[in-house]
Structure formats: structure tokens, C-alpha cells
Amino acid sequence: MAVDRGCFSSRLGFILAAAGSAVGLGNIWKFPFEVGKGGGAAFVVMYLAFCFILCFPVMVAEIGIGRKTQRNAVGAFTVLGYKNWSIVGYLGLVSGVLILSFYNVVAAWAFGYFVEMVTGNFDIGNNFGEFTKDWVTVGSYAIIFMVGTAYVVSKGVSGGIEKAAKILMPSLFVMIIALIAYALTLPNAMDGIRFYLVPDFSQITGQVVYSALGQAFFSLSLGMGALITYGSYVSKKDNIVSAAASVTLMDVGVATLAGFMIFPFVFSQGIETNGGAGLIFVTLPGVFEALGSTLGVFVGGLFFLLLSFAAFTSTISLLEVPTAYMVDEKNMGRSKATWLVAIFIFLVGIPSMLSNGAVDSLTSFITLPGPGTLDFMTFIGLIASDTFLPLGGFMIAVFTAYVWKKENFNLEMSNGDATMQASLLQRYVSFAIGYICPVLLGAIFIVTVLDNFLGIKILSLILG
Ligand code: PHE
């Protein structure tokens, strides 16, 4: 193992970096539009249940595997002695590359909107389609974003990743609270809150369950080894169960807060909730405009800056996964590895960039029985985040409980001290990773994949 892998300087540093990874476009851009498409509060309830019941134990498992082995997502399985299982790590690498390839494009939109707001162009909300179609502009922002990300990752773990998260995460929180306070003063704000909080369970279909599970994994950065990688930089003395609990709470907290901010905005403007990927980009500029030119520029600029910050700490973690792989397994220097991977992923992202209006064949790329006609970028999201991540999570749970074995996992959770009394939370994790996670993840995965890709509606049959 390379001597200079680096590590987090403290428990708080790890928690903030992991929370920075988790909190991102997933919470503020994707979560609201998935809630909107999934019929509101019923989706929220499912998402929350998935996060706490299924994802939290998988998160502890990922961090545990990483910390035990001090390796990247692929190498970790080999170090534990199960080379065949490194396939899970490779699946994670592929997921990470695909996710970052489109994530960087949305991050570029967010950053571009920041620039538009600061220059007072509130009309951009009505011109979202035109904006995303303009691949030269979006591509330039995407290059800026990827270069910034690569710069931080090339600086290493405590000097780059941890430092960025320590500054950006707290600012993010403060900004969200301020925007909620404003949102709640708007007309029809309460209709938005009602949509968000009062569930209508008749809205639940196979597709909604599928997106809610995918959303939970995506939002928590799980199922692709991002937390195996971050876990590999965690001190042997830290309590990983409580650290994972903090990360889960922060991530779910920010997503929940984002809903309180967005839905009052959406309803105050009388905009449809099921607008998909454009939801916040179409809705928000008008809200900011209503504040008048000075305040509007300020609040609008602040919001999209916030969104860019949130995205940035996530792109860092997405890039770190393949970078750590190159550093550990291919003995490449960190800086070289970072820039090579970043360029590769940027190129992989070009079709996504072109699929939002610029090239017709990519804009209506594929038609599936479940979701209908999708653009290339949405399709990649469906494959990588909604399908590969839960699949990865399922395999990580099975691996942890039945291959690596629960005794070893329990010992890792107790920091190697077999005499330590396990906390209630730790006992839940241990139980869930062996039974609840494999069974429910496996079942939900099969049912929802059949539903989405082949149009076989098992869930509707069960629910009647
Ligand atoms: N969790 C991030 C978000 O919510 C996205 C992400 C997914 C980051 C997977 C890393 C790994 O925006």
C-alpha cells in the first residue's frame, strides 16, 4: 500500500466530508422533482423509510469495509481475501463514472444559473430549454466545474477534500434556513407544504417505489463504494456507527429542508409539480425576480451559489472513487490519476450534455415501458443511480453478512474491541445487514426493475 494515501484529520473532518458527499444536487435538485413526479408526501414517506431502515446499515457496512482495509472500492474486497467480490467495486467504479458524467452537467447548469442571477437575468427561468440546449455555454461551465473538482481532489484528503467541506457545509446550512424563512412568507406557501407533507398512498406505483429507493441510495452516496473510499481514510478509533448516523441525519435533514424551501416556491408561482429535471431551474428565477432587482440578485445568486457548493462537495467524492482506485491499484501519483480520470469522465459526459435539446436523437433517446421516452442523460441516471446503486447496496449487504461475516463486521464496528458492549444502534445495523437489507433490497430491486424496464406490474397486482 502506498504510504501517502492520506487520512482525515479528525472525526468531524470525516463526518463533514461524508456529509458533503451525501448532500448535493441529489437533495436540492433531484429530491424535489422526484417528490413532484412521485405524487408528493407518499414518496417522501417511502424515501425516509428506505434511508433509515435500509440505507443506514449499508452505509455503516461501506465505511467498515473501507476502514478495515484502508483501500479503494475495488482493492478493499481483495484485501479482505475475496478477490471475486471486487466485481462489486468495479460496478461501483462504473456507477461513479456514469453518475459524475451527468452530475457535472447539472452542476454546470447550477453554476451557470448563479452567473445569470448575479447579472440580473431572471428571464432564464422561462428559457431553461434554450439554456440547456446551448452546449457551448453549458460545456464551458462544465469544464470549469470539473477542473475545480479535480483541483481539490488532486490536493489529497485532509488538505483538499476535508478543508473544502469544513467551509462549505456550514455555509450551506445557513443559506437554506434563510431561504425557507423567505419561502414561507409567500402566497400559497401552505398548499406547497400540504403537497409535501400529507401523503396520498394511492400514488404509490412500482415506478415510484423504484425512484424512491434509487433516490435514497443516490442521496446518501451509497452503493458505489464512495463511502468505502472515504471510510478508508477514517481513524481506527472513531465510532463509525455514530458517524454514519450523523451523516444520514444531515443528508435526510437537508433533503427534507429543501422540500420546505422548494414547494412553497413552486406553489406560489402556480407551476406544475411534475416538471422533472427542470423543476427548480424553471421555478426559482421568477421567485427571485419578485423580490425586486437588488434583493432578487442577492437571494437568487445566493441560492444558486449554494446549489453549486452542495454539488461541488459531491463531485469531489464522485471523482475520489476512481482516483483512489488508480492511486492504490495502478500505483499512479494522486495528481496524475485525478486529472486523467477527470478528463475521461468529462468526455463520457458529452452525450449527456448534448441530450438536453442540442441533439434530437439524444433528447428522445429511448422509450421504456415504465417511464416512457427518456433523454440520454435521464436514461443514464436510471441505469446508474436508480439501478446500479441499489444493486451495489444489495451486494455489499450480502458480502458483509455472509462472506466477510458478521463477527468481523461487528468487531470492526467495535473498533476491534470484542469486549465492548454493542449499542442498540449497532445491534440494529448488525441484524439489518444480514436479514432486512438483503431480503428487502433484493425483493424491491427485482420487482421494480421488472416494472420499469419491462412493464411487468407486480406491485400493482399485490396492492390490488
Ligand atoms: N449524494 C450525492 C447527492 O445527493 C450524489 C452522489 C452519489 C455522490 C453517489 C457520491 C456518490 O447529490
If you measure from the C-alpha of residue 432 to the centroid of ligand 1, how many angstroms do you get, rounded to a whole number?
Answer: 23
Residues 115-123 have a mean pLDDT of: 97
Q: Answer whether residue 343 shows pLDDT above 50.
A: yes
Going by pLDDT thresholds of 50, 70 and 90, the confidence category of residue 1 is very low
Q: Which residues line the pocket of ligand 1, CB cutoff 6 A?
A: 21-22, 24-27, 99, 218-219, 221, 224, 226, 314, 317-318
pLDDT of residue 235: 92
Q: Please, how many CA atoms are within 13 Å of residue 326, restricted to the half-sphere of its CB?
A: 19
Residue 301 above 60 pLDDT?
Answer: yes
- 373 phi/psi in degrees, rounded to 5: -85, 130
pLDDT in tens, 218-266: 999 999 999 999 999 999 999 999 999 999 999 999 999 999 999 999 9
- Grid coordinates representing 132 are 440547456
Polymer length of the chain: 464
Beta partners for residue 367, in sequence order: 373
Task: DSSP letter for 185, please.
Answer: T
Three-state DSSP state, 187:
coil
**What would the pLDDT profile of 154-194 be if each residue is shown by its tens digit?**
988 777 677 777 777 777 788 788 889 989 999 999 999 99
Q: How far is the centre of ligand 1, averaged over its atoms, from the C-alpha of 191 (Å)? A: 30
Ligand 1 center to residue 274 CA distance, Å?
A: 22
Task: Determine the pLDDT at residue 238.
Answer: 94
Question: Of 218, 224, 252, 323, which is best to mutate to test ligand 1, by the most ligand atoms within 8 angstroms of its C-beta?
Answer: 218
Bridge partners (DSSP) of residue 373 are 367
Alpha helices by DSSP H, 269-292: 279-289
Give the C-alpha distances (Å, rounded to integers) separating 284 from 27, 193, 298, 407: 16, 17, 13, 50
H helices present in 188-292, as ranges: 189-197, 206-219, 226-231, 240-268, 279-289
* pLDDT at res. 3: 43
- Using alpha carbons, list the distances in angstroms from residue 426 to 56, 221, 406: 11, 21, 12
Share of the chain above pLDDT 70, in %: 98
The protein residue with its alpha carbon nearest to ligand 1, atom 9, reads 221
- All 3 cell numbers of residue 91? 460496478
Cα–Cα distance between 216 and 458 in angstroms, integer?
22
Please say whether the beta carbons of 98 and 380 come within 8 A. yes
Query: What confidence score (pLDDT) does residue 45 get?
Result: 95
Report d(CA 445, CA 386) in Å as an integer.
Answer: 10
Give the mean pLDDT of the chain: 92
Rounded CA-CA distance 244/246 in Å is 5
What pLDDT is stored for residue 46 in this prediction?
A: 95
Strand partners, 372: 368
Residue 291 Cα to ligand 1 midpoint, Å, equals 32
Please name the residue whose Cα sits nearest to atom 10 of ligand 1.
Answer: 221
Report d(CA 49, CA 64) in Å as an integer: 22
Is the separation of the CB atoms in 310 and 133 below 8 Å? no
Q: Specify which of 82-91, 413-422, 454-463 reaches the highest per-range mean pLDDT.
A: 82-91
Q: Please tell me the distance from the alpha carbon of residue 316 to that of residue 276, in angstroms, as a whole number.
A: 25
Residue 314 has pLDDT above 90, yes or no: yes
What distance in Å separates the CA atoms of residue 140 and residue 371, rounded to the nearest whole number?
A: 31
pLDDT in tens, 407-450: 999 999 999 998 888 999 999 999 999 999 999 999 988 987 88
Q: How far apart are CA 152 and CA 157, in angstroms?
A: 9
- DSSP code of 198? S
Mean pLDDT of all residues in 255-281: 91
CB 45 within 8 A of CB 380: no
Min mean pLDDT across 9-18, 124-133, 180-189, 312-321 is at 9-18
Q: Which ligand 1 atom is at minimum distance from the Cα of 23?
A: 4
Residue 178 has a pLDDT of 86
Q: pLDDT for 364-409, tens place per residue?
A: 999 998 889 999 999 999 999 999 999 999 999 999 999 999 999 9
Stretch 296-303: mean pLDDT? 90
Residue-wise pLDDT for 12-52, tens only, equals: 888 988 999 999 999 999 999 999 999 899 999 999 999 99
Q: What is the dihedral of CA 175, 23, 193, 293, to 10 degrees?
A: 40
CA–centroid distance, 20 to ligand 1, in Å, is 9
pLDDT at 307 over 80: yes
**Domains, the chain, ranges and CATH?**
11-463 (1.20.1740)
Q: Report the nearest atom of ligand 1 relative to the CA of 389.
A: 9
**Closest Cα to atom 7 of ligand 1:** 221
Closest CA to 92 of 56, 53, 57, 66: 66
Q: What is the structure's pLDDT at 464? A: 57
The CB-side HSE value for 140 (13 A sphere, CA atoms) comes to: 6
Q: What is the pLDDT of residue 135?
A: 97
DSSP 433-451: HHTHHHHHHHHHHHHHHII
Q: Distance between CA atoms of 291 and 299, rounded to whole angstroms?
A: 8
Comparison of pLDDT for 142 and 155, the residue scoring more: 142
Ligand 1 atom at shortest distance from the alpha carbon of 251: 4
Q: Which one, of 360, 357, 356, lies nearest residue 380 by Cα?
A: 356
pLDDT at 2 over 50: no
Residue identified by cell 443506514 is: 56
